[in-house]
Amino acid sequence: MNESLQSFDLSGSMTQQRNRVLRNTYWLLALSMVPTVLGAWVGVSTGVVTGLSPIVSMVVFFAGAFGFMFAIERTIGETNYISATLALYLDVYNVFQSLLSLLGIFGGSDD
């Protein structure tokens, strides 16, 4: 029996290109975390959210949500992949927001 086995050596240009792509991906991830961390720090350090009443918070949330919907509908033909990515991010956010809400409701103490 003659078995023809092929081994692929990944040394050389393929490995270098894969490492370059991974390095660029991690740099983009790190750069995208900078405004996120700064925004979270500003929000926590200023305490703006704690000073808002529930009605004002709801109005601000709905204004942002309808603003996103309007912007997405306005540019839907040319940037469909951006809309899909934004929809996925918002879905993940909504899942975690709902989980936190449920944990707050059912995990709270009855004092």
**C-alpha dihedral sign at 72, 77, 80, 84:** positive
**What is the pTM assigned to this prediction?**
0.36
How many Å apart are CA 94 and CA 99, to the nearest integer? 8
pLDDT in tens, 56-86: 878 888 998 898 888 878 766 655 677 778 8
**pLDDT per position in the chain (111 positions), as tens?**
567 766 666 566 777 888 888 888 888 888 888 888 888 888 788 877 777 778 887 888 899 889 888 887 876 665 567 777 888 888 888 888 888 888 877 776 666
Spans of all domains in the chain: 12-49, 52-105
How many Å apart are CA 32 and CA 36, to the nearest integer? 7
